[in-house]
Amino acid sequence: MDTDALATTPETRLTALGITLPGAAPSPIGSFRNIRCSGNMIYVSGQGPVHADGTLIRGKVGSEVTAEEAREHAKLVALNILSALRDALGSLDRVRGVVKLLGLVNADPDFERHPFVIDGASDLLAQIFGKNGIHARSSFGVGSLPNRIPVEIEAIFEISPQPADDQPR
């Protein structure tokens, strides 16, 4: 679906696609925060596949989780990333574009479809941000991830400056 033709902002694209973001981003599980801004860049810490009700998806890709399932999990991770962004910025419309993703796949040693899995997140971001959603990316397999999650993704975005009359979030 060509979301650029349907809507002009990320928030209207979400609506046009029928996508509802989780009400709040999952809380960090360590001594860090979800978001860090520096200039016009915003860094989103690694997010995992957590449903809005707090249910965590677990499993090793290749033996317990199929590549197709893990790709859907990567989509959920992208939604959690967007939720963290919206929490920090107030609106996804402040996002100028997706700069880079780093995707980690908790995979069996012989699993080879890491890019396919992380495409779940990449494709969703391209739908929401249009041509500005096409990004640089790395994806690779790891022997384990926290809480046995199958996928973790961190992201870097470019944002518009905050209007002078807005209070910092």
Over residues 77-109, the pLDDT tens digits come to 999 999 999 999 999 999 999 999 999 999 999
Mean pLDDT, range 7-28, rounded to an integer: 85
| Whether 71 contacts 78, CB under 8 Å | no
Instruction: Kindly provide the b/e burial profile for residues 133-159, where b requires at least 16 CB atoms within 10 angstroms of the residue's own CB.
Output: bebebebebeeebeeebbbbbbbebeb
The sign of the dihedral angle between the CA atoms of 19, 153, 67, 52 is negative
Asked whether the predicted pLDDT for residue 67 surpasses 60, the reply is: yes
Q: How confident is the model at residue 4 (pLDDT cuts 50, 70, 90)?
A: very low
- Residue 27: CB atoms within 10 A of its CB come to 9
Q: Please give the pLDDT value at position 27.
A: 74
* Domains of the chain and CATH, by start: 35-159 (3.30.1330.40)
